[in-house]
Amino acid sequence: MKNAKASQTFGFLTARVAIIIILAILGYFIAYLVWNGAGIISWEFITQPPTQGMTEGGIFPAIVGTLLLIVMALAIALPLGLMSAIYLVEYASKESRLMGWVNSAVYNLNGVPSIVFGLFGLAFFVKFLGFGTCLLSAALTLTIMILPTIIMTSVEALKTVPNSFREGSMAMGATKWQTIWKIVVPASFPGITTGSILAVGRAAGETAPILFTGAVYYMKGLPSSIFEPVMALPYHLFVLATEHSNISAVRPIQFGTALVLITLVLSFALVAALIRNHYRKKRKW
Amino acid sequence: MGKKSFRPSGKLFTAIFASISILIVFFIFIFVIIQGIPIFNRVDVSNVFGLVWRPASDTPSFGILPLIYGSLIITGIALAISIPLGLFGAIYISEISNPRIGAILKPMIEILSSIPSVVYGFFGLLVLVPFIKSTFGLPVGETALTAGIVLAIMVLPTILSIAEDSISSVPREYKEASLALGATRWKTIRSITLPAAATGITVGIILGFGRAVGETIAVMMVSGGSPIITGSIFSPARTMPQTIAAEMGEVAFGSTHYNALFFIGVMLFIITFILSSAASKLLKSSGEKK
């Protein structure tokens, strides 16, 4: 009995120590970045291009570049992914062998390291199709990276809509297509939206897929067409921290870029969480 | 009536999109495999599975073993740190802490999983690299250990979060029965709750492993990048994804080196495939049991 008590004390202590270590890491990590980065952030920093060989000025083109990349990637991946999910959930027969294949292919692609997409994008979009290192190539690479996530989350969202919704709509004389667009898709809207936002948040922070497909270290202004390269926040931080000729001189800009990037990505996560909670409360089924 | 027959069929319309998506997915797999496999036509199998990775030298060598070694040692260190931390952290949140505190702690820790990897690499470079260098008196701070610690922080939320989900989904009756028989809370956790949650915990570890093995940028910034098998956690190492990222910018389209990088991609596919099949098998078998 004494032994059991002692082992409980020890077990609980270990668990407490573990959680304290985790929270200490989390706290130190966030505090370190905020402490060093907060002083850099200013209106000028987020609205001005870099000057003096990156040692001064802001990161405006990198912010816009990242936004352009994710907007383009989502503009292609969302319709494609949503329509595919609608087919898989509403039309395709559930038992067909093709469905099994598709499921496992999508599921596996979802776990593929992002650098493999970067390699594919470089070989296929940049070289083989001849788009070159540009916004289009990088956005397409991000598109195929987030497509499996969008398909999977949309499939899950469509599946949660109760069949009685579909039956009710059809019983009122609506066609299957009307039922899907007017009833099923709106009812699964929160799931699709949160899934897409999370996918986009991940895409915004990725460096590996855009490394050689479209990101550049410096550009005079914003890209004037999709065939020009872009600056992007994660790549900007990567280059400033590892390849700049005077790494310590650009340290403040690195911290500022890191903080802007984290803020951007976390605000996506926050919006997704808010949407999910909002609709979960409202949901009646 | 004539007009009506031209109305697009929803089934056909969405089927076209679905086919495009499916084609893209399969195309990526096939493209990478087709670009990677020719490495065996150009150099010997013993070269590809050799001990020396020196693709740019005059007598190039494409031995992938040092890269597999690098991936394994760095991932191994990461898991050796993150599994105990994540598991005990999950036990604390679901079984020990006040539920209200747990409900705050978990999403807080999950924040870590949405932070971009380049930021972890940056943090590792500025904080961990000098720390490791001075603590162990090393010539450089960029080592396998450094990369392993950075990765441990990155995969911790995955492991903790999934472990917590499966621990807290163990039915209350199990725990109550054990407690009623006179077992202590800790004995109940160890002998009842954890075994019942073992499948979920394993799935979390598998997913954490997958994330660690595929991580590129953060590792690249802190691992030192030497493709050498040293057997020491204090020397630099180089992982498979890192090699692709470091070399694909300079590689000539269609060269042997190009094929070699794609072959690393094929290896990563195989690893991903094994891990996700294992995870889905486990989930399926536990679903059947319930």
Asked if B102 contacts B167 with a C-beta cutoff of 8 angstroms, the reply is no
Q: How far, in Å, CA of B44 to CA of B57, rounded?
A: 17
Chain B residues with CB inside 8 Å of A84's CB?
A: 14, 17-18, 20-22
The residue among A10, A19, A35 with the most chain B CBs within 10 A of its CB, best to mutate, is A19
* Helices and strands: H and E segment counts in chain A: 12, 2
Count CB-CB contacts under 10 A for residue B4. 6
pLDDT at A1: 58
Q: How far, in Å, CA of B105 to CA of A183, rounded?
A: 37
Task: Identify the closest residue of chain B to A155 by CA–CA distance.
Answer: B18
Q: Residue written as tokens 């000098």?
A: B130
Detail the DSSP E strand segments found in B25-143. Answer: 53-54, 61-62
pLDDT of A225 over the 90 cut? no
CATH label of the domain that carries residue A68: 1.10.3720.10
**CB within 8 Å of A35: residues ≥ 6 apart:** none
Count CB-CB contacts under 10 A for residue B138. 17
Q: How far, in Å, CA of A209 to CA of B215, rounded?
A: 12
B181/A277: higher pLDDT: B181
pLDDT tens-digit readout, A206-224: 999 999 899 888 877 788 8
Same domain? A213 vs A242: yes
Across the interface, of A25, A180, A258, the residue whose CB is closest to B122 is A258
pLDDT at B1: 41
pLDDT at A106: 83
Q: How far, in Å, CA of B63 to CA of B71, rounded?
A: 14
Long-range contacts of A57-64 (CB under 8 A, 24+ apart): A59/A231, A59/A233, A59/A236, A59/A253, A59/A256, A59/A257, A59/A260, A61/A219, A61/A221, A61/A222, A61/A230, A61/A231, A62/A231, A62/A232, A62/A233, A62/A235, A62/A236, A62/A257, A63/A233, A63/A260, A63/A264, A64/A222
- Write out chain B's pLDDT in tens, 290 residues: 444 444 568 888 888 998 899 899 889 999 999 999 999 999 888 888 988 998 888 888 999 999 999 999 999 999 999 999 999 999 999 999 998 998 899 988 988 888 999 999 999 999 999 999 999 999 999 999 999 999 999 999 999 999 999 999 999 999 999 999 989 999 999 999 999 999 999 999 999 999 999 999 999 999 998 999 998 999 999 999 999 999 998 888 889 999 999 999 999 999 989 998 898 888 888 766 55
Same domain? A225 vs A113: yes
Q: Do A4 and B156 touch (CB under 8 A)?
A: no
Q: Do A105 and B189 touch (CB under 8 A)?
A: no
Domain of residue A220 covers 46-282
Q: How far, in Å, CA of B241 to CA of B147, rounded?
A: 13
pLDDT at B7: 57
pLDDT tens-digit readout, A8-52: 899 999 999 999 999 999 999 999 999 999 988 989 888 888 887
Q: Which helix (H) or strand (E) holds A256?
A: helix A251-282
**Domain range annotation of chain B:** 67-289
Same domain? A236 vs A268: yes
Same domain? A146 vs A263: yes
pLDDT at A284: 63
Q: How far, in Å, CA of B258 to CA of B247, rounded?
A: 9
Same domain? A51 vs A32: no
A284/B220: higher pLDDT: B220
DSSP B189: I
Count CB-CB contacts under 10 A for residue B51. 14
DSSP A209: G
Same domain? A90 vs A185: yes
ipTM score of complex: 0.91
Chain B residues with CB inside 8 Å of A113's CB?
A: 213-216, 241, 268, 272
Q: Closest approach of chain A CAs to the CA of B80, in angstroms?
A: 13
Indicate if the alpha-carbon torsion angle A252, A258, A262, A263 is positive or negative. positive
Q: Which helix (H) or strand (E) holds A50?
A: strand A50-51
pLDDT tens-digit readout, A60-113: 999 999 999 999 999 999 999 999 999 989 988 777 777 777 778 888 888 899
Superfamily of domain B67-289 in the CATH hierarchy:
MetI-like (1.10.3720.10)
Chain B residues with CB inside 8 Å of A79's CB?
A: 17
pLDDT at B8: 61
Same domain? A53 vs A127: yes
Residue A57 DSSP SS3:
strand
To the nearest whole number, what is the mean pLDDT of chain A? 90
Q: Which two tokens stand for residue B182?
A: 């006179």
Same domain? A32 vs A166: no
Q: How far, in Å, CA of B72 to CA of A193, rounded?
A: 37
Asked if A116 contacts B265 with a C-beta cutoff of 8 angstroms, the reply is yes
Q: Output phi, psi for B61, to 5 deg.
A: -135, 130
Q: How far is CA A14 from CA A10, A27, B79, B184, B203, in A?
A: 6, 20, 18, 16, 23
pLDDT at B5: 46
Same domain? A105 vs A12: no
Q: Closest approach of chain B CAs to the CA of A245, in angstroms?
A: 16
Same domain? A12 vs A61: no
Across the interface, of B84, B221, B269, the residue whose CB is closest to A241 is B221
Count CB-CB contacts under 10 A for residue A92. 18
Count CB-CB contacts under 10 A for residue A241. 23
**CB within 8 Å of A138: residues ≥ 6 apart:** A69, A121, A209, A210, A213, A214, A215, A229, A230, A232
pLDDT at A98: 72
Nearest to B133 by CA among B144, B142, B125, B121: B142
Q: How far, in Å, CA of A258 to CA of A239, rounded?
A: 12
Q: Which two tokens stand for residue B88?
A: 């005990």
* Helices and strands: H and E segment counts in chain B: 15, 2
pLDDT at B3: 45
Write out residues 187-246 of B within 8 Å (CB-CB) of A: 187, 189-190, 210, 213-217, 221, 241, 244-245
